[in-house]
Amino acid sequence: MKKYLHVIGIGIQNNLTYRFNYLTRTLFSFIPLFAMIALWQKIGGAEHSGWTLAETVFYYLLVAVVDVFTAVNEDDWQIAADIREGNISQFLLKPIDYLWYRLCLFFSGRIAFVMMAFIPLAVFIFCFRSYFLLPASTAAMIVFPFSLLLTALLQFFISYAMAMLAFWLLEISTLIFILFAFEYIASGHMFPLDVLPPVLQHVLACTPFPSMLYVPISIYLGKISGSGVALGLLTQLFWVVVMYGVARLMWRRGIRKYSAYGG
């Protein structure tokens, strides 16, 4: 454990070197959110789906919060580059697990990003403070952080598994963009999934995408309550375990094919 804590410490230091990039990335990421909030303010909220204007606007504020704490930041690109350039060779010879090494770097990146994004995020929320809503219940307030953690793990394991394709493909950027585009819609970034027809909601419920954003926000706002909260957490945990297994499987299969160039 000590070596992985050291990796987190080094990762935070390296990420803080690029703090200006984090700051500008955070500021520009708020532009589409401003546009979406303005659109829903004009429409008056998704009332036909049971969302008031305040809930709809605050939904997008929570999207920004969840993204800051859980979004993958170039980890898949870096993992794919390590495979392509032969940098993973060193991890085959040292007593360190590459998946846990990358997971530590992921969390160190999130810590650094939260530190840099805190002030812009606070200003963003302050601008829409009239729409601020407290957690729907004490249970929602307690469960929300655990749901965030599961969201972060799920996002990382999916990105890690996607990056493993670099063992077989020279360039995976197109696949990463396709996954990101689909996830942006299917996870609830663009709009609450409640606004979709019931058939599509049921289809998406069979995928990990709602667990990547919509579930934690719905728990906070009370759209998921009672036994639905436990079901939502269990669903997230299920997909975390599944994607962890997929990531491990792809690593084992990929290593058999791997030729150690460079590194």
| Positions of the chain with pLDDT lower than 50, given as ranges | 262-263
CA distance 58 to 44: 13
Output the pLDDT for position 214: 94
Can you give the pLDDT at residue 11? Answer: 82
Residue 80, CA distances (Å) to 87, 160, 263 in order: 10, 9, 13
In 3D, which of 149, 153, 143, 161 has the Cα closest to residue 239? 153
Alpha helices in the chain (DSSP H): 2-16, 19-43, 53-70, 75-85, 98-127, 138-163, 173-186, 198-205, 214-221, 227-257
Q: What is the pLDDT of residue 211?
A: 94
Give the pLDDT score at 70. Answer: 92
Please give the pLDDT value at position 263. 44
Q: 157 near 247, Cβ under 8 Å?
A: yes
pLDDT tens-digit profile of 152-198?
Answer: 999 999 999 999 999 988 888 888 888 888 898 899 888 888 888 88
pLDDT for the residue 189: 87
pLDDT at residue 250, rounded to an integer: 94
Q: What is the pLDDT of residue 5?
A: 80
The predicted structure's pLDDT at residue 252: 92
